[in-house]
Amino acid sequence: MELKFKWKFNIKELPDMGTLNHEIDGIAKNVTIGRTLFMEKFGVSSEREYKERMMKEKKVMKHSAVGLNSWQAQEEGLEKIYDELTKSGSYIDRYGACLDWVMGVPEEHRSKIQPGSGLILKNEDEWARLGQVVPVQPHLGDHIIGSLNSLQNTMLGLKAGVTTIGNISHYYTYEYPGLDMEEYRTIDMVKAIGLMARLSDQGTIIHSNLDDGFGAQFHDLANLVGYAKLERYICEDLLGARVGHCFGNLFNDPMIRIIFNSAMGKINTYHTPGSMIYGNTIDFSYNMPKNYGAVTSYAMADAIGQMICPSGHAITPIPVTEAIRVPAVDEIIDAHNTVDMAIESAKYYKDYVDVQKVEAEADILVACGNIFFERVLNGLDEQNIDITHPGEVLAALKAIGVTQLETNFGVGRKDAEAMRGRIPVRPTSIVKEIDRQQTTIINGIDGLDKRPLKGVNVIVASTDVHEFGKEISKTVLQKAGAEVFDLGTNVAIAELGDTVIETESRAVLISTYNGIAFSFGEEMVKTFRNLGIDVPIVMGGRLNEPMDGSDLPVDVADRLAAMGINVDNDIDKIVDYLVKVLDL
């Protein structure tokens, strides 16, 4: 087995856990969990206590993400959501404050990055208001634990009465360009998790949305279960905290949502309530009526899952406009009213679900996930990683990446023709969708069997965690005979340049979905020019970015085209374009 580690720092220089634990103990003595209006209304000391009560009653809880671009707008939005839902006989149990990415950076470094469109808390008074506007429990996920500002943000959140805090999955996939602070980030994250552990008897829960991190990149659900167990190992076994996993963004099969919820329960040693099950956004598009259908489909499944296997997860009504812009407050309210009907209908379906079959499928995922978990830990141990040091394990997993983890330690049957060389025990929704679309696309492109790109080296990569477009492009290019070098997700521009030179690649294809198309394209073109690289560049996906001081992303295809980048954004045309531009 040969693993390639993309180290960002020397993990053997991390402080020992004795030193870190001593520091964490000192910090914990000075942190008191605040009381929110929600806690006062329901007579609880934490969200965990409330959720455990609701689990016994089999009540389906609801969650919404709310991240308006000023605290005043946030307060007004929360008040309107709560008031309107209460008037209509509906409810909301919790909300996630969607913080801007600058909040994930220590204050002294925030001038180095461009603020986005999310919520920026400007002072401790605004932090303290998180749970004092309406009796809805606040949740903190974005840019807290796992960011460059884990400890400070966690302390402020706890003081505000927030007891479910994450998102540890961000450590693996969310980056802050221009800030080379990975060692600090890892140490700070360990301290934040340790602080949550010291207060776990008061109901604190570490939140992890698998689909925001490496989970989005796994091809096999069995391996994903094993990976979730690795996160529990780091937080619970090594540091003593309690973890509540979130999933759902990339699950569009209603039954798989129910099965995976059951599997998560089976690896939950301490029976910690989950944070939320997020909505299926795979099926979202610009077609609003179809989006309503997607909402009712996943919401009914999630409600049934909570009725037959209560896990404490709230379900998430996703506004139908989320795929195209930041949803308005009225659209959040509409989503709750839609989901209320799905919850009501779920009561009539739940008794007809084959629970034994659900449990049997979940058992398969857990059994195989356990194998993956053991293989990874043994593999890390063989590579001289101290598997008793959470910082070393965190950094090692990040340095290895999902592709190598799944290729080397996965449980699927080996097959040279399969993606990553293994046939998944149970494929993820993304893999199923990739397979479906690949078949349709490949069948629609004439001449692939003649292998027009034979002997041509091509690089593919993604600017973020989304692999969808990259994987389909890769398969089309391979079918056309190209030798494809896949640099994976969250690719660095420097790595692109180095790889073009090393592999003598003649073209670069970039998939992007995270709203940085222009800045990434501009920097890539500049870097290539400085290196003397002159190859065609193709960019596809969501070609947008906030421009000219605006918070809202706009289409930047014309600006990219002006740099000489191909922005047809049509996978059917890639092969013909390369044949023409390379004069093959």
Instruction: Give the DSSP letter of residue 235.
Output: I
* Rounded mean pLDDT, 274-283: 94
Pairing of β 537-541 and β 483-486? unpaired
Taking alpha carbons only, the member of 258, 257, 298 closest to residue 281 is 298
Instruction: Give the DSSP letter of residue 562.
Output: H
User: Using CB atoms within 10 A of its CB, is residue 16 exposed (0-12), middle (13-18) or buried (19+)?
Assistant: exposed
Strand order in the sheet with 63-66: 63-66, 94-97, 137-139
Pairing of β 457-462 and β 276-277? unpaired
- In DSSP notation, 497-559 reads HHHHHHHT-SEEEEEE-SS-HHHHHHHHHHHHHHTT----EEEEE--EEE-TT-SSEEE-HHH
Question: How many angstroms separate the CA atoms of 581 and 506, rounded?
Answer: 10
| Domain membership flag for residue 428 | no
Domain final residue, candidates 307, 338, 359: 359
Average pLDDT value over all residues in the chain: 95
* Rounded mean pLDDT, 95-102: 95
Domain final residue, candidates 359, 387, 415: 359
pLDDT digits (tens, 9 = 90+) for 283-338: 988 899 999 999 999 999 999 999 999 999 999 999 999 877 778 999 999 999 99
Cis peptide before 10 (omega within 30 of 0): no
| Domain membership flag for residue 418 | no
Residue 89 structure tokens = 């006989």
CATH number of domain containing 521? 3.40.50.280
Q: Same structural domain for residues 454 and 575? A: yes
Question: How many angstroms separate the CA atoms of 499 and 185, rounded?
Answer: 27
Strand order in the sheet with 164-165: 164-165, 205-209, 243-246
Q: Same structural domain for residues 351 and 217? A: yes
Question: How many angstroms separate the CA atoms of 257 and 251, rounded?
Answer: 6
Q: Same structural domain for residues 327 and 458? A: no
- In DSSP notation, 159-213 reads HTT--EE--TTHHHH---TT---HHHHHHHHHHHHHHHHHTGGGT-EEEEEGGGT
582, pLDDT greater than 90? yes
The string over 519-537, giving b where at least 16 C-beta atoms fall within 10 Å of a residue's C-beta and e elsewhere, is: bbbbebbeebeeeebebbb
Residue 489 structure tokens = 């997700």
pLDDT digits (tens, 9 = 90+) for 426-478: 999 988 888 888 889 999 999 999 999 999 999 999 998 777 789 899 999 99
For the beta carbon of residue 540, count every other beta carbon within 10 angstroms.
23
| Single-letter amino acid, residue 52 | E
Percent of the chain with pLDDT over 90: 84
H or E segment and range at residue 65: strand 63-66
- Return the SS3 of 441: helix
| CA 365 and chain centroid, separation | 20
Q: Residue 176: CB partners within 8 Å, gap ≥ 6?
A: 101, 104, 105, 113, 147, 148
| Domain membership flag for residue 390 | no
CA dihedral 277, 278, 284, 287 (to 10 degrees): 90
More confident residue, 273 or 325: 273
Residue 153 structure tokens = 């943000």
| Domain membership flag for residue 172 | yes
pLDDT digits (tens, 9 = 90+) for 235-260: 999 999 999 999 999 999 999 999 99
Q: Same structural domain for residues 334 and 476? A: no
In the chain, the number of structural domains is 2
Q: Looking at beta carbons, which pairs linking 35-38 to residues 24 or more positions away fall under 8 Å?
A: 35/131, 35/161, 36/130, 36/131, 36/132, 36/135, 36/137, 36/138, 36/160, 36/161, 36/162, 37/131, 37/132, 37/133, 37/134, 37/135, 37/136, 38/94, 38/131, 38/135, 38/136, 38/137, 38/161
C-beta of residue 316 within 8 angstroms of C-beta of residue 64: yes
pLDDT digits (tens, 9 = 90+) for 377-432: 999 999 999 999 999 999 999 999 999 999 999 999 999 878 888 999 999 998 88
C-beta of residue 407 within 8 angstroms of C-beta of residue 420: yes
Domain final residue, candidates 342, 359, 376: 359
Q: Residue 479: CB partners within 8 Å, gap ≥ 6?
A: 442, 448
C-beta of residue 173 within 8 angstroms of C-beta of residue 212: yes
* Structure confidence at residue 551 (pLDDT): 62
Q: Same structural domain for residues 577 and 449? A: yes
Question: How many angstroms separate the CA atoms of 306 and 225, rounded?
Answer: 19
Percent of the chain with pLDDT over 70: 99
**Domain of 573?**
444-581
| Domain membership flag for residue 62 | yes
| Domain membership flag for residue 419 | no
Taking alpha carbons only, the member of 493, 552, 533, 549 closest to residue 564 is 533
**Measured between alpha carbons, how far is residue 473 from residues 368, 458, 491 in Å?**
30, 11, 16
| Domain membership flag for residue 366 | no
pLDDT digits (tens, 9 = 90+) for 551-562: 677 899 999 999
| Domain membership flag for residue 371 | no
Q: Same structural domain for residues 135 and 252? A: yes
CATH number of domain containing 140? 3.20.20.240
C-beta of residue 418 within 8 angstroms of C-beta of residue 385: no
550, pLDDT greater than 80? no
Question: How many angstroms separate the CA atoms of 508 and 531, rounded?
Answer: 15
Q: Is the pTM of this model over 0.85?
A: yes
374, pLDDT greater than 70? yes
H or E segment and range at residue 139: strand 137-139
pLDDT digits (tens, 9 = 90+) for 103-122: 999 999 999 988 877 899 99
513, pLDDT greater than 90? no
* Structure confidence at residue 413 (pLDDT): 95
Q: Same structural domain for residues 353 and 493? A: no
Residue 53 structure tokens = 């009560």
* Structure confidence at residue 549 (pLDDT): 72
Q: Same structural domain for residues 452 and 353? A: no
Taking alpha carbons only, the member of 193, 205, 154, 105 closest to residue 389 is 193
- Return the SS3 of 95: strand
Question: How many angstroms separate the CA atoms of 206 and 208, rounded?
Answer: 7
* Structure confidence at residue 45 (pLDDT): 98
Taking alpha carbons only, the member of 434, 471, 441, 453 closest to residue 575 is 453
Out of 218-222, 271-275, 543-547, which region has the weakest mean confidence (pLDDT)?
543-547
| Single-letter amino acid, residue 499 | T
